[in-house]
């Protein structure tokens, strides 16, 4: 292990040692990137979250039927994930140690690569990590990557009087991270060979939440006013003011004349350019038109419903207790105490949750957004 890697291991281990997995999971339903993950992760092959931290997405996507690996450079984070996996019925072997710039897997291995808030932490820039992502993705594989947005209004406020190229941590005068505009991030992704599918500014609410934490009593005031402010900010995300959102996100594909089908994973010759992802003739015939239509170019993601915004200081949302009847099969099942409704507007039993066709329908037509603070 090099000196730099040891330093990164120690730095991130110190951060993750103070965090708790259940709190990380509690933020999933409000994560604005979740709809893009659910829509664009291929329904085949092996997936990786590179720089997984405490692995909220790894646990979540595993429950949804995805074969996923979580990789991180922090040994403390991986140990916590493995312990939590053992305690809650997951396979601890799906967590691997690794540096996102030198991923210990062969070429063309993964169907998708997701990485959130990682590539901006390298002082040399994100290119080396993105080149590795390109290498390990199969032809037609999907990458979803995000960074802080340089134009986020909390970042602009915090940057006053500081070096505009990077944020200085409050405790050490050393490099912490860059922030990139969505176009800058898209250009980095494109420069290593990917073809851009979507690029978005995400979440106008988080900067306000972040600013409120800086002010004495700010969170208490926000909790009172959030039913007014948050819906307004949701609406502003459809306007040019989304430029000031908290994050920059890019979805891209590894281009090929003979990619693997998004749904079944079989290689084929592309003959239909109407879709944003590669779809073979067999799946084109067999996948319901309703679900297929969501992958036509220009189709936007939408939420079926939005919950009222709420805060809860308990370890488990009280709504995550009791029994429900599955929307698809009608069977009664116990709610998952950690993920509850999994961020969907209908109740779904564990078996139907993993069913590929039902999962597609859920991901495209029954998304529910909740700002839930734990």
Could you tell me if 216 and 349 lie in one domain?
no
pLDDT class for 227, splitting at 50, 70, 90? confident
Res. 302: pLDDT tops 70: no
298, with CB counted inside 10 A (0-12, 13-18, 19+), is exposed
Question: Beta 46-50 vs 310-311: how paired, if at all?
Answer: unpaired
Where residue 344 falls (left for φ over 0; alpha for ψ -120 to 50; beta otherwise) is: beta
Same domain, 100 and 199: yes
- Among the candidates 249, 283, 304, a domain finishes at 304
pLDDT value of position 168:
39
**Tokens 């939005």, residue located:** 306
What three-state secondary structure class fits 82?
helix
Least Cα distance to 101 among 140, 128, 69 occurs for: 128
How far apart CA 251 and CA 70 sit, in angstroms, is 19
Alpha helices in 215-280 (DSSP H): 218-236
In CATH, what number is assigned to the domain containing residue 276? 3.40.50.150
If asked whether residues 41 and 108 sit together in one domain, one would say yes
CA 323 to chain centre: 28
The answer to whether 277 touches 295, Cβ cutoff 8 Å, is yes
Higher pLDDT, 17 or 330: 330
Mean pLDDT of 99-128: 95
Within 8 A by CB and 6+ apart from 52, the residues are 58, 70, 71, 72, 77, 81, 95
Within this chain, do residues 175 and 239 fall inside the same structural domain, yes or no?
A: yes
Average pLDDT over the chain, rounded to an integer: 87
Q: Nearest Cα to 98, choosing from 65, 56, 137, 69? A: 69
Q: What is the pLDDT of residues 135-180, one digit of tens each?
A: 999 999 999 999 999 999 988 887 774 544 444 344 446 788 899 9
State yes or no: pLDDT of 350 exceeds 80: yes
Helix H segments across the chain? 3-17, 21-26, 34-40, 56-63, 75-87, 127-136, 153-159, 182-191, 205-214, 218-236, 281-286, 289-292, 350-354, 356-365
Higher pLDDT, 350 or 4: 350
Question: Which pLDDT does position 317 carry in this prediction?
Answer: 52
Of the residues 304, 324, 348, which one is the last residue of a structural domain?
A: 304
Same domain, 335 and 199: no
Which residue has 């040019």 as its token pair?
Answer: 240
Q: Specify whether 237 is located in the same domain as 293.
A: yes
pLDDT band at 107 (very low <50, low <70, confident <90, very high): very high
Once rounded to an integer, what is the mean pLDDT over residues 6-13? Answer: 82
Q: Please tell me the predicted confidence (pLDDT) of residue 62.
A: 96
> pLDDT band at residue 306, thresholds of 50, 70 and 90?
low
pLDDT-based confidence at residue 94 (cuts at 50, 70, 90): very high
Give yes or no: residues 10 and 115 share one domain. yes
Domain span including residue 353: 305-374
Q: Cβ contacts of residue 31 below 8 Å, gap of 6+?
A: none
pLDDT of residue 170: 41
Given a cut of 50, whether residue 123 has pLDDT beyond it is yes
Do 59 and 187 lie in one domain? The reply is yes
Higher pLDDT, 173 or 318: 173
To the question of pTM greater than 0.85 for the whole model, the response is yes
Q: Is there a single domain that holds both residue 198 and residue 342?
A: no
Point out the domain boundary residue: 304, 325, 354: 304
Using DSSP, state whether 88 is helix, strand or coil: coil
Nearest to 114 by CA among 66, 48, 40, 201: 48
- Are 244 and 207 spatial neighbours (Cβ–Cβ below 8 Å)? yes
Q: How many domains does the chain have?
A: 2
Same domain flag for 249 and 362: no
Q: 155 and 299 share a domain? A: yes
Instruction: Say yes or no: 356 and 239 in one domain.
Output: no
Q: Would you state the pLDDT for residue 87? A: 94
């Amino acid at each position: 292990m090099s000196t730099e890697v040891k330093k990164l291991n120690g730095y991130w281990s110190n951060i993750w040692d103070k965090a708790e997995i259940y709190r990380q999971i509690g933020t999933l339903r409000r994560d604005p990137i979740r709809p893009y993950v659910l829509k664009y992760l291929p329904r085949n092959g092996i997936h990786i979250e590179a720089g997984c931290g405490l692995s909220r997405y790894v646990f979540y996507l595993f429950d949804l039927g995805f074969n996923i690996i979580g990789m991180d450079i922090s040994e403390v984070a991986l140990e916590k994930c493995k312990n939590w996996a053992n305690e809650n019925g997951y396979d601890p072997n799906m967590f691997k140690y690794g540096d996102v710039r030198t991923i210990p897997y062969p070429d063309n291995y993964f169907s998708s690569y997701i990485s959130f808030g990682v590539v901006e932490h390298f002082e040399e820039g994100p290119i080396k990590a993105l080149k590795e992502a390109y290498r390990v993705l199969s032809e037609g594989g999907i990458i979803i990557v995000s960074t802080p947005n340089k134009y986020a209004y909390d970042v602009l406020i915090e940057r006053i009087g500081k070096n505009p190229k990077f944020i200085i941590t409050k405790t050490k005068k050393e490099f912490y991270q860059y922030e990139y505009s969505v176009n800058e991030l898209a250009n980095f992704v494109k420069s290593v060979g990917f073809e851009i599918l979507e690029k978005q500014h995400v979440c106008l609410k988080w900067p306000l939440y972040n600013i409120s934490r800086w002010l004495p009593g700010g969170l208490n005031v926000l909790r009172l006013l959030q039913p007014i402010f948050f819906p307004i900010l949701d609406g502003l995300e459809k306007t040019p003011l989304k430029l000031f959102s908290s994050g920059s996100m890019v979805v891209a594909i590894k281009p090929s004349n003979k990619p693997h089908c998004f749904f079944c994973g079989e290689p084929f010759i592309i003959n239909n350019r109407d879709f944003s992802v590669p779809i073979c003739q067999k799946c084109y015939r067999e996948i319901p038109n309703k679900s297929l239509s969501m992958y036509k170019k220009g189709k936007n993601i939408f939420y079926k419903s939005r919950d009222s915004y709420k805060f809860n200081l308990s370890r488990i949302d009280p709504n995550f207790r009791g029994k429900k009847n599955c929307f698809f099969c009608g069977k009664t099942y116990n709610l998952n105490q950690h993920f509850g409704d999994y961020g969907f507007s209908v109740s779904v039993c564990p078996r139907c949750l993993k069913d590929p066709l039902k999962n597609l329908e859920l991901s495209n037509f029954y998304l529910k957004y909740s700002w839930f603070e734990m």
